[in-house]
Amino acid sequence: MVVDPTNSAIVYAGGAAGTNSLIRSTNSGASWTDITSGVSGGPHVDHHAAAFDASGRYLDGDDGGIYRLDNVTPITWTQLNGNLNTIQFESIGLHPTDINTALGGSQDNG
């Protein structure tokens, strides 16, 4: 959860697992709007970090990298990863007889 540094009534909250949306409130949490559901090109699931850029735009750090909220009406997100490939490994194992082979188990993306 993070509060907009220029307007304390604007609050953002992110979820994981069963609630992978980002929600936004403009009235100090009295009501919320999902700003990710059904949006093309929006953030990946499992939100881990939140911040604001120098222009005051919301940034989401998630399993898919970093995304910036450019507009709330209509909702517009920009992926900021460039050529950065992101992945979250859950486990790794070495082949029992071939030292040149390793296997990795990753979450969501591979």
Give the residues across from 49 on adjacent strands: 61
In this prediction, residues 16-35 reach a mean pLDDT of: 86
Torsion of CA 67, 2, 109, 80, to 10 degrees: 20
* pLDDT confidence bin for 20, thresholds 50/70/90: low
> If you average pLDDT over each of 8-12, 15-19, 32-36, which comes out highest?
8-12
Percent of the chain with pLDDT over 90: 45
For residues 21 and 38, the answer to whether their CB atoms sit within 8 Å is no
pTM to 2 decimal places: 0.77
> Is the confidence at residue 110, as pLDDT, over 80?
no
